[in-house]
Amino acid sequence: MAAFISLNIKAKLALLGITLLIILLVAGFSPLERTLGSNIRLVYVHGAWVWAGQLAYAGAALAGLFGLLVQPAWHGWSQALGWTGLFFWWTYLPMSVLVMQMNWGGIFWSEPRFQTPLAFGIAGLLLQAGLWVIGSPRLNSAANFIYGVVLWGVLRSLTNVLHPDSPIADSGSLRIQFFFVALLLLAVILGAQLAVLFKGNSPTVDQINKS
């Protein structure tokens, strides 16, 4: 990671593109499923994407807490990880619509597993936009901590209507589980790369101390 941080912007973007390409290749070679057929491949990516988003928001919350209580330099990472979570969330939501259309034959807008993430997506977008305008690193960290805690708490308590509880874990197929974990790890790597890119635009310690 230290080597990636030291690269120039063009090299970082090139490696970001390579990671995306690897994700597409792994998804393309992932195993099919008897019921969903090739549609399962989008489900793999969809699942990895939402977990990567949740982990990014958890990281933003923890970094924000560290920034407030331990070291102000963590404020910048809280902001960068918050933007990273936003990226995954707003690319995951269209996948959800496509997955519903492909596998359920239509879009079930009342599904709690879609309604609630959509609400969090809108709230997260407005929150990050407002924090960017205000420009207070401490407020950013505090807001990211609260948002991350609430998001994880609410998502853990959601009920399902059509959405299965844990399709990958309940599949019973080690190959399916292996490819999903591989895609999740790649998504986390992509998230780390995005966070480093976003961190380049975050405030310095001197700017934090002046705010």
Work out the angle at residue 148's Cα, subtended by the Cα atoms of residues 154 and 202, and round it to the nearest 5 degrees: 155
Q: Take residue 137 and report the two structure tokens written for it.
A: 């690193």
Task: Give the per-residue pLDDT at 89.
Answer: 95
Task: Give the per-residue pLDDT at 11.
Answer: 84
Task: Give the per-residue pLDDT at 150.
Answer: 96
For residue 166, the SS3 value is coil
Burial of 155 (0-12, 13-18, 19+ CB in 10 A): middle
What is the C-alpha to C-alpha distance for residues 85 and 41, in angstroms, rounded to an integer?
22
Q: Take residue 82 and report the two structure tokens written for it.
A: 């918050």
Task: Give the per-residue pLDDT at 204.
Answer: 46
Burial of 163 (0-12, 13-18, 19+ CB in 10 A): middle
Residues in Cβ contact with 185 at an 8 Å cutoff, skipping those fewer than 6 apart: none
Task: Give the per-residue pLDDT at 114.
Answer: 85
Assess contact for 129 and 195: CB atoms under 8 A.
no
Task: Give the per-residue pLDDT at 106.
Answer: 73
Task: Give the per-residue pLDDT at 113.
Answer: 82
Beta bridge partners of 37: 33
Does this model's pTM top 0.85? My answer is yes
Burial 120-146 (b: 16+ CB within 10 A, else e): bbeebeebbeebeeeeebeebbbbbbe
What is the C-alpha to C-alpha distance for residues 38 and 17, in angstroms, rounded to an integer?
24
What is the C-alpha to C-alpha distance for residues 68 and 115, in angstroms, rounded to an integer?
32
Measuring CA to CA, which residue among 103, 60, 23 is closest to residue 95? 103
Residue ranges for the chain with pLDDT beneath 50 = 204-211
Task: Give the per-residue pLDDT at 159.
Answer: 75
Neighbours of 186 (CB within 10 A): 21
